[in-house]
A = this chain, B = another copy of it.
Amino acid sequence: MRFLIIGGSDAGISAALRARELAPDVEVTVVLADDFPNFSICGLPFFLSGETPDWHKLAHRTEFSGIELLRSHTATHIAVDDQTVEAADRAGTTKRLKYDRLLIATGAIPAMPPIEGLNLEGVYALHTMEDGFRIQPHLDRGVRSVVIIGSGYIGLEMADALVHRGINVTLVGRSQAVLPTVDWEFGKLIEGRLAEHGVEVRSDSVATGIERSGVGLVVHTSSESRANADLILVAAGVLPNSRLASDAGVELGCRSSIRVNRRMETSQVNVFAAGDCAETWHRVLEKNTYLPLGTTSHKQGRIAGENAVGGARQFAGSLGTQVVKVFDLAIGRTGLRDHEALEAGFSPCTVLATGFDHKAYYPGAKEIQTKITGDQRTGRLLGAQMIGNWQASIAKRIDIFAAALFHGMGVEDLNDLDLSYTPPLGSPWDVVQAAAQSWTNSGCRVFSTSTPR
């Protein structure tokens, strides 16, 4: 049996590895458009900052034994009827590849704003290793100022990275505050930290055009007349790269991503999809969404790989868990925010709680702000957001919330979790639980002693 995989990033390689683990006799081939199988593109900001000078280190792994890698080949056509894929190398020479099971893991492409000037020299998206290789020498030629269009997590990481290099940064974002995946107040805290590091933040501002001006570039924005720069980075989100699939008659779903069931099967027999090109089952919303994240790609790929070789495993679902480090801050979220929960038909109530990462009497305690969202009808935990120092275990505390959400726990039930404690690393009630108690005591939900638990 031949298991063919289009795409050599997280989902594709995870699928290949899992198939190889479970079914050593299956022939596994990965068609990848570049020469960088399973590289950590999330690491590009650190390559560009100079913190990770050797790009080879960005490889999640370098060992692919038993997996055939067809490098620098782009899949150009899928024929589901005769189960073949056409792939072309960079010279345009094509091959036809037969499959018994196919995984489409073509990822995403950068979403470019509908403005003039995107094709000017010095304007870049940052999505692939090759994007990184184009930007780095340009930065090395003495770039002094950069405008970043987009204030999501990649925009923020790049702002941090460029400041690390001593470059002046202007960050233009359309949302009310940076990092629109968390609540506005947290975004404003991040903006404060950006400003302390000299980043000029223009939130609530849309880039309306780019033009060359002398030796530099100018970005016109809706809020300010212009922002000058030697280089412009566009980090305005991504779109699913689903064209190849749809041309082959594979049904699309949310935001034109490939429709999949929880086994990662598409509408076409023997054709799976996973990663940033595909829909994502949301465990709290209990429906498919488009929520491209590297962690999800790994999971979906692993499940697709398992099922392609005879498994019947379901994707357990995403909670949209994310974390980002910006200077000395870490900001994380999981589950639904208040307005998202409301849209989904819950009766959310959200409370802000502050606490310390460990007992304040032990030196070095750091404040953490937690927003916790629960459903007032059922008491169920719906989501959490946290912000604090990056060494305050924000990421792993968000993961405690994520584990609780995964199991549909009630907010109050978080107090039942037997979490670890020692004064230098926590509190008898961890901030996760203290936030839950704040929620319970806030009047979000009336406690009823008449209900046995």
Contact = CB atoms under 8 A, between A and B. Distances in A.
Interface of A: 10, 21-22, 40, 42-43, 46, 51-52, 54, 57-58, 60, 153, 157, 283, 293-299, 302, 306, 309-314, 316-325, 330, 332, 334, 359-363, 390-391, 393-400, 402-404, 406-407, 413, 415-426, 428-430, 441, 447, 449, 452-453
Contacts of A40: 359, 361, 423, 428
A181 to B, nearest CB: 12
B330 A441 contact: no
A52 B317 CA distance: 45
Contact of A319 (B325, B396, B418): B418
A46 to B, nearest CB: 6
A175 B310 CA distance: 49
Given A393-B393, A449-B22, A428 B43 contact: no
B395 A400 contact: no
B299 A416 contact: yes
A415 B403 CA distance: 11
A449 B78 CA distance: 28
A390 B424 contact: yes
A425 B394 CA distance: 9
A163 to B, nearest CB: 15
Given A313-B453, A362-B46, A403-B400, A421 B323 contact: yes
A363 B50 CA distance: 11
List the 8 closest A-B pairs by CB distance, nearest first: A396-B396, A316-B416, A403-B403, A323-B420, A57-B361, A395-B425, A319-B418, A312-B452
Contact of A363 (B51, B58, B419): B51
A46 B403 CA distance: 32
Contacts of A403: 400, 403-404, 407, 417
Contacts of A418: 283, 295-296, 299, 316-321, 334, 402, 406
Contacts of A318: 418
Contacts of A394: 425
Contact of A395 (B54, B334, B422): B422
A428 B359 contact: no
Instruction: Indicate the member of A43, A334, A362, A426 with the most B CB atoms within 10 Å.
Output: A362
A324 B330 CA distance: 24
B399 A417 contact: yes
Contacts of A319: 418
A365 B51 CA distance: 12
Given A60-B428, A295-B418, A399-B420, 4 more contacts: A313-B453, A323-B420, A330-B425, A332-B420
A447 B22 contact: yes
A310 B450 CA distance: 8
A323 B302 CA distance: 32
A416 B406 contact: yes
Contacts of A312: 449, 452-453
A422 B313 contact: no
Contacts of A430: 399
A325 B452 contact: no
A362 B161 CA distance: 12
6 contacts: A22-B449, A42-B421, A51-B362, A296-B418, A319-B418, A406-B418
Instruction: Indicate the member of A309, A413, A417 with the most B CB atoms within 10 Å.
Output: A417
A419 B402 contact: yes
